[in-house]
Amino acid sequence: MNRRDVLAALSLLFGPAPAFAQGVGYPSKPVSMIVPFSAGGTADIFARMVGEHLQKSWGQPFVTENVGGAGSIVGITRIARGTPDGSILGLASTSGLSINPTLYGAKLSYRPAQDLLPIAQISMVPNVLVVNPDKIKARTVPELIAHLKANPDKVSFGSAGVGTSQHLAAELFKQMTGTQMTHVPYRGSSQMVTDLISGNIDLAFDNVPLLLPQAAGGKLALIATATAKRAAFDPNLPALSEYLPGFEAVAWHGFVAPAGTPKPVIDKLSAEIRSFMQKPETAKKMDEVGAIAVALGPDEFAAYIASETTRWKAVIEAAAIKID
């Protein structure tokens, strides 16, 4: 046997060993978990919850780092450019994985399908259509649509920023109802909700966790959820799909890693994260903040990202939304 044959035989014998070892022995050092949003939000809460579980299970630190900015682009770019050995992963969302590619096109500093590997989808956060009760007297979807058609471009809606799931939910609503409203974008939801309460804007779509306390206090009025069916947090609140078949506009979160991260590492992370998300106590914690626990694996998550990208691309193009 010549030297080349010997090397080939050794490669066949020992080649798979490093990846396998990384899967079995992973993690052998601290892991950085990038959250591309500021601390305190739902993504931050979810990442720390999962990170704490992984740390307890595997005995290595899973350190959450908040790297916000530019609609999650800064943080996701850092994930995409990280060392693909399992030492870095991150929690991305609808905007970062399925909206930004259309909004920014070639200017985007990462390509989800090429630069990132899906690990697991962990959550779905319902968006809710909410109005200022003093500015908008409508309390049902048909009443609101009638009001908007009678007052084209006279009603303002807020969002957490151009191209966010909240913004696109409203654009989808406009497209499906043939109504016109004026968009007022904010840098995040906090100030938007404050202005909605004070009457500076009239209505909005936003994530449930921020709205429930205000609605309970009578400062805001919930009209309908943007989920495919009625949400568990309030079964009496109708879903928009009951009036607009096919309407769905939810926020979601899932873990990703840099492309090239060994499959055994991805599989080990995915299995442990999904197991945690399926625990009754985890579902209860998610429900307490108005979210739904999800446990999709890498392939299912990748397919969901692709379907969401296609759906939101159509909405963005129909609304002619541009990012300068």
pLDDT at residue number 305? 97
Long-range Cβ pairs for the range 301-308 (8 Å, 24+): 301/118, 301/119, 301/120, 301/121, 301/254, 302/118, 304/121, 304/252, 305/97, 305/98, 305/112, 305/113, 305/118, 305/254, 306/113, 308/94, 308/97, 308/98, 308/252
pLDDT at residue number 37? 86
Tokens linked to 84: 């693909």
pLDDT at residue number 24? 67
Nearest residue to 200 via CA among 215, 186, 217: 186
Element (H, E) at 14: helix 3-14
Q: Residue 66's beta-bridge partner residues?
A: 35
Rounded CA separation 293/250 (Å): 13
Task: Report CA 22 to chain centroid distance, whole Å.
Answer: 29
End-to-end CA distance of the chain: 63
pLDDT at residue number 16? 41
pLDDT at residue number 133? 97
Tokens linked to 280: 């009754």
pLDDT beneath 50, residues of the chain:
1-22
pLDDT at residue number 231? 86
Rounded CA separation 294/1 (Å): 54
Nearest residue to 285 via CA among 293, 273, 274, 294: 293
Number of Cβ within a 10 Å radius of residue 56: 9
